[in-house]
């Protein structure tokens, strides 16, 4: 569990909370209409699927600007390190699954 927390900290270092919030808000807004239709069809409360306050649908140029800023803020070695950790975690999961079978 500690390994997962450390990996999440590394992820948050590479992808700022502002970036994550903006992307999640964008995706929530983009899917809002289809979520509303689903809720109406299935008699589900739409409030659960409603985009968070402050969420907005971003333009292509805004998304590109976020991506460029993130690229400039990150260190390549930090990215490589996180990628190695993710690969190691996946391989450990596969190995554990094989051993349980």
pLDDT in tens, 82-100: 999 999 999 999 999 999 9
Identify the band that residue 2 occupies on the pLDDT scale cut at 50, 70 and 90.
low
The answer to whether the beta carbons of residues 76 and 16 sit under 8 Å apart is no
Look at the chain and count its residues: 101
45-90: per-residue pLDDT in tens? 999 889 989 999 999 999 999 999 998 988 999 999 999 999 999 9
Query: What is the 8-class DSSP label of residue 15?
Result: S
In b/e form, how buried is each residue of 14-33, taking b as 16+ CB within 10 angstroms?
eeeeebeebbebbebbeebe
Q: What is the pLDDT of residue 77?
A: 93
Identify the band that residue 1 occupies on the pLDDT scale cut at 50, 70 and 90.
low
Residue 93 is encoded by which pair of tokens?
A: 């999961």
């Amino acid at each position: 569990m500690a390994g997962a927390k450390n990996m999440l900290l590394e992820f948050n270092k590479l992808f700022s909370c502002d970036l994550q919030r903006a992307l999640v808000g964008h995706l929530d807004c983009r899917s809002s209409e289809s979520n509303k239709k689903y809720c109406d069809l299935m008699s589900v409360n739409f409030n659960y699927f409603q985009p968070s306050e402050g969420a907005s649908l971003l333009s292509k140029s805004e998304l590109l600007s976020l991506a460029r800023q993130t690229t400039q803020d990150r260190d390549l070695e930090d990215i490589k390190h996180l990628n190695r950790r993710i690969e190691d975690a996946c391989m450990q999961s596969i190995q554990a699954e094989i051993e349980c079978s």
